[in-house]
Structure 1
Amino acid sequence: MRYDSVIQGTFLSRPNRFIAVVDILGREEKVHVKNTGRCRELLIPGVCVFLEKSRNPARKTAYSLIAVQKGDRLINMDSQAPNAAAWEYLLSGMSWIKPDLVQREKTYKDSRFDLYYEQAGKKGFIEVKGVTLEEDGVVLFPDAPTLRGLKHIKELENAACQGYEAEIWFIIQMENVRYFTPNIRMQPEFGQALKDAKGNGVKIHALWCHVTEDSMEVAGEVPVIL
């Protein structure tokens, strides 16, 4: 996936979940934050950020914040990017799944999963989670408690028990990481739910991405430690 019209700026502050104040060529500008998560370890005053210019001249904010420099790592923090990257990866033929049919946002019971596919007579669901939290090369999810995430895991378990293929893809929005593990300090229940899901047939994958200032694509897999 690729962005258009990307420029560099310096992060100054975040008045609320949706808005950041960024210095762009010496001018303070309010920009849209494409991630409502906390991201406190990323959005630190003075860090370099990358912004995409909106094509809509009527929009209140002219730019969207899409990536941030954290030390020597460039981290994409656009919450819509993981789904787009997973979609492209699934269609590319590079993954272990070679689908005959792929659909986005398929409803199953009380949940709507990000991807649905059919392959050689089998039907499957994939739930995609974007990962931006990194500590010493280890990536973790979630960065805040998520009831929605727990619900998705339980529904995937149910689907697996009903004969569907069921997978969770943790899309790591950066490169050069060691492994993925659930953030049990933040939400122990999430880590336990992943263990239970794996035991009941849900496959769990962590996929790192090649990230540039204006693009992000799935590049490989890293170990998952539960």
Structure 2
Amino acid sequence: MKYEHITEGRFIDRPNRFIAHVEINGQVETVHVKNTGRCRELLVPGTQVFLEKSSNPARKTAYDLICVNKKGRGLINMDSQIPNKAALEWVKAGHLFPEKVQVTPEKTYGNSRFDLYVCSEKRKAFIEVKGVTLESDNIARFPDAPTERGVKHLKELIHCMQEGYEAYLLLVIQMKGVDRFEPNWETHREFGETLQEAKKAGVHILAYDCLVEPDRMEIQDPVPVCLASDWK
């Protein structure tokens, strides 16, 4: 997944979930933040950030903040829309299933809507995609804030399994170099417990890291998933 018209800046502050102030070429700009999560460990004053300039002159904000150079970690893509697009490209390119598949984004099933629906002569599968930007001590964690929506998605994937479909949770870790993925037990224990239930029910829990550059992000290598709440 590639971006266009990338600009470097320095993060100043974030007045609310949707905007930030960034110094770009000596000028303070109000920019759109493409992630409504907390991201407190990423958006630190003085941090180098990368932005995409909009081609729409009518927009209130001329830039989207998409990437952060985290101290001691390197580049982390924090665009919450990009994991789904990267996953769509990745699955279509044949990285998940051995046979040729048809991939449909935003597929409705019953009262649910999943990020991807995959079908072939061999399978019918739903895939829910979650972008992961939270990292500490080389461990990636999700979520960075309580997510009832995330719990709902896991329960819906379990229901799909019961209806005879394959079900996948694809955790797209928007950085390189992590040792493993864990649920963020401290922030939302219910999500971790539901993730354990989904695994036991047969839902495939997959985590992959990404090659991240200022103007692109590409899903790359598998990352171990640890669901034990008492793992040491």
Please report the TM-score for the alignment, with normalisation by the length of structure 1: 0.98
Percentage identity across paired residues of the two chains: 56
Matches within 5 A, 1:135-174: 135-174=136-175
| One-letter amino acid of the structure 2 residue matched with residue 56 of structure 1 | N
Query: Where do 1:22-37 residues align within 5 Å?
Result: 22-37=22-37
Instruction: Decide whether the 8 Å contact of 2:51 with 2:63 is kept in 1.
Output: yes
The Cα of 1:97 is off from its aligned counterpart by 5.1
Find the aligned partners of 2:184 and 2:98 in 1 and give their Cα distance.
27
Give the 4+ runs in structure 1 shifted more than 3 A: 96-99
Q: Counterpart of 1:188?
A: 189
- Once residues 171 and 32 of structure 1 are traced to their aligned partners in structure 2, the CA distance between those partners, rounded to angstroms, is 22
Q: AA paired with 1:140?
A: R
Shift of 1:73: 1.3
Q: Conserved in 1, the CA contact under 8 Å of 2:180 and 2:226?
A: yes
Q: Deviations over 1:107-129 (max 9, x none)?
A: 12222100001022421100000
Shift of 1:100: 2.5
Paired residue total: 226
SS of corresponding position for 1:56: coil
Aligned-pair CA distance for 1:101: 1.2
Determine helix, strand or coil for the equivalent of 1:45. coil
Q: CA–CA distance in 1 between the matches of 2:167 and 2:112?
A: 13
Counterpart Cα distance in 1 of 2:100 and 2:75:
31
Amino acid at match of 2:143: P
Deviations 1:82-117 (A, max 9, x none): 001100100111223534211000112222100001
Distance 2:92 2:178 in 1: 25
Partner of 1:225: 226
Q: Which amino acid aligns with 2:65?
A: L
Structure 2, unaligned stretches of length 5 or more? 228-232
2:57 matched to which residue of 1?
57
Q: Is the 8 A contact 1:21 1:30 kept in 2?
A: yes
1:116-156: per-residue Cα shift (whole Å, max 9, x none)? 01022421100000000000110000000001100000000
1:205 matched residue in structure 2:
206
Higher mean displacement: 99-108 or 48-57: 99-108
The aligned amino acid for 2:107 is K
2:102 paired residue number: 101
Q: Which structure 1 residue ranges, 5 or more long, are not aligned?
A: none
Q: TM-score, normalised by structure 2?
A: 0.95
d(CA) in 2 for partners of 1:18 and 1:97?
A: 40
> Is 1:90–1:98's contact at 8 Å kept on the other side of the alignment?
no
What corresponds to 1:76 in structure 2? 77
C-alpha displacement at 1:25, in angstroms? 1.1
Letter in 2 for 1:123: K
In the TM superposition, residue 173 of structure 1 has moved relative to its aligned partner by 0.2
1:175 and 2:176 matched: yes
Q: Partner amino acid for 2:8?
A: Q
Q: Alignment RMSD, CA only?
A: 0.9
Report the counterpart of residue 9 of structure 2 in structure 1.
Answer: 9
